[in-house]
Amino acid sequence: MADKNTTAEFEELVISNPIGEELTLKSFTPTKEGMKYKEVFASEASLIAGNITQGSLLVANHALSVSEILKQAPNGLFTATVDPAKLSKFGNGTITTMVHGGEKKLQHFGFTKIDPVKSINPAMVLSAGMQVMSMVSGTYYLKQINSQIHQIDKQLNELIQFHHDENIGKLRAARIGLSEIASREIVDNVDINTIRSYKKTCQEIQEEYNLRFHREVNDFVPKKKGDEKEFEKMNLQLTIAFEASKLSLYAELIELGTRMKIGGQNELIEGLTSQLERNYKNSLYHNIDHAINNFDNIISSKYQKEGADKQKNNKKIEKVVNTIPVGHFSLFMPNLAWGVLGKIALDSAVEIKKSIDNSTMNKKEEKRKNSSDSLASALHENKQNETIDDTIREMLQFPYIQKEILYVIDDERQRVFVPVQ
C-alpha cells in the first residue's frame, strides 16, 4: 500500500498519442470533504473493441471516500476532467504514457507504448468512466422527468370535456408512451425513433391549434350581444397548443436522457442540448405570457375600433340634430313651447344612445379582460405546478459540467472511480 509520500511522488500522468498530442491527468488533491466515489467495471473485451454499452458496464454498490481510495492507490491517485471528444484521440492507436516526478522529471511508468489490441490504455478506461457518468445521469434525469410528466394528465383530462377527442387522445397516448420509455431499465435506438415520433405528433397538434387560434383572433369581429363563447373557443385553442408545446419539450428531454443512458453519444448530446436550448427559448410554453398579451392587445384594439366607430356615428347624429332649428319642430307642434320640448327630447335621445353605447363597451371590455385574466391565471398556475423549467436548465448545463473522474494504476490493473450522483 502507498503512504502519503509515495502518493505525492508523481504530479502528473501524461498520455501522448501518435501525433504528439498530450492528455494530462493531475495528481489528485481532495477539495471537498465527504465526496464519495464508486468504481466502474468494464470487461476487457468491450474496452478493447470500444463497444461500451449499458450491459457491459457495472458500477460498484459501495461508495468509497477519497481517503479509502488513496489506500488502494500504490502508484498515486490521478484525476481527469477531460472532454470526452478529446479522449477519442487517445483511445485508438499506439500511445505512450509517462509521469512527471516531484522534481519535474519525466519518467516512464511501467507501460510505455501500449498497444490497445493487446492491452487497455488509460484513455479507454477514462472513456468508460465518462460513459458511466452519462448513463447514471441519464437514468437519474429520466426518473425525474417521468415523475413530472404525469402532471400533464390533469390538464388533458380537463380538456376532454370540450370534445376535441382525437387530438387530446393523441397527446395522452404520447404522454403514456414517453413515460413508458423513461421508466425502462434498458433503452435503445428503437426507443429514440419512437420518442421522435411522439414529438412530431405533439408539434403537429401544437401547430394546428396555434394556427386556429391566430386565425380566429385576427378574424374576430365584436358582436352586439357579447363574445364570451368566442373567447372560450380561443382560450381552449391556446391551452391545447400550450399543452402540446410542453409535451414536445418533454419528448426532447426524454430523448436526451435516453441517449445519455445508452452511452457513447457525447457529441450528439451536445448538439441536441443546443437544439433544446433554442427550442425552449422559442417555445409557446416558455413564451405563453407574450402570446396572451398579443391576444389581449389585438382583441382590445378591435373593441377600441368598435367604440371609436360608434362615437364617430354618434357625433354625426349629434351634428345633424344640432342643425335642426326649433322652428322645424313647431311645424308639427301646436306652439313654440312644444317645439322646444321636441328638440330637447331628441337631444336627450342622442345622449342616452351615447351613454348606452359607452356602458355596453365598458361591460364587453370588462368581460374580455376577465376572460384574458382567467386564461393567464390558469396557465401561470399550470407552470408554477411544473418543474420542467428547472430540469431543462439543469440538463442544458450537463454536457459542460466538469466532474472529476479518479484514476488509479496499481501493479495489476487500471481502475476508475466516478462521483456519486
**Which has more pLDDT, 110 or 120?**
120
For residues 162 and 219, membership in a common domain is answered with yes
- Check whether residue 75 and residue 206 sit in a common domain: no
Q: Which H or E element spans position 49?
A: helix 44-49
Residue 295 pLDDT greater than 60, yes or no: yes
In a domain, 342, yes or no: no
- Condensed to tens digits (0 to 9), the pLDDT of residues 182-203 reads 999 889 899 999 999 999 999 9
- Spatial separation of the C-alpha atoms in residues 83 and 86, rounded to whole Å: 5
Q: Identify whether residues 261 and 378 lie together within a single domain.
A: yes
Please tell me which residue, 230 or 352, carries the higher pLDDT value. 230
Q: Are residues 66 and 170 in the same domain?
A: no
Q: Is residue 194 part of a domain?
A: yes
Whether residue 228 is predicted with pLDDT greater than 60 in this model: the reply is yes
Q: Tell me the per-residue pLDDT of 134-169, one tens digit each, with 9 for 90 and over.
A: 787 888 899 999 988 988 888 888 887 777 889 999
Residue 349 maps to a domain: no
d(CA 284, CA 241): 8
Q: Within this chain, do residues 138 and 111 fall inside the same structural domain, yes or no?
A: no
Claim to verify: residue 99 and residue 165 sit in the same structural domain? no
Q: Are residues 95 and 158 in the same domain?
A: no
Residue 350 within any structural domain of the chain: no
Place of cell 435503445: 188
- Joined together, the cell numbers standing for residue 4 give 502519503
pLDDT class for 237, splitting at 50, 70, 90? very high
In a domain, 23, yes or no: yes
Do 52 and 124 touch, CB atoms closer than 8 A? no
Provide the number of structural domains found in the chain. Answer: 2
Q: Which domain holds residue 68?
A: 4-132+402-419
Q: Are residues 65 and 46 in the same domain?
A: yes
pLDDT band at 91 (very low <50, low <70, confident <90, very high): low
Q: Are residues 121 and 17 in the same domain?
A: yes
DSSP letter string over 89-157? GGTSS-BEEEEEETTS-EEE-S--SB-TTTS--HHHHHHHHHHHHHHHHHHHHHHHHHHHHTTHHHHHH
Work out the average pLDDT over 377-397: 83
Q: Are residues 383 and 296 in the same domain?
A: yes
> Does residue 150 lie within any of the structural domains?
yes
* 143 and 54 co-located in one domain: no
Q: What is the DSSP letter of 34?
A: T
Residue 112 pLDDT class (50, 70, 90 cuts): very low
Q: Using CA atoms, how far apart are residues 407 and 420, in angstroms rounded to an integer?
A: 15
Computed over every residue of the chain, the mean pLDDT equals 77
For residue 365, with 0-12 CB atoms within 10 Å meaning exposed, 13-18 middle and 19 or more buried, which class applies?
Answer: middle
Does 320 map to a domain?
Answer: no
- Does one domain contain both 164 and 95? no
Q: Kindly state whether residue 333 falls inside one of the protein's structural domains.
A: no
**Could you give the CA distance from residue 375 to residue 367 in angstroms, rounded to a whole number?**
12
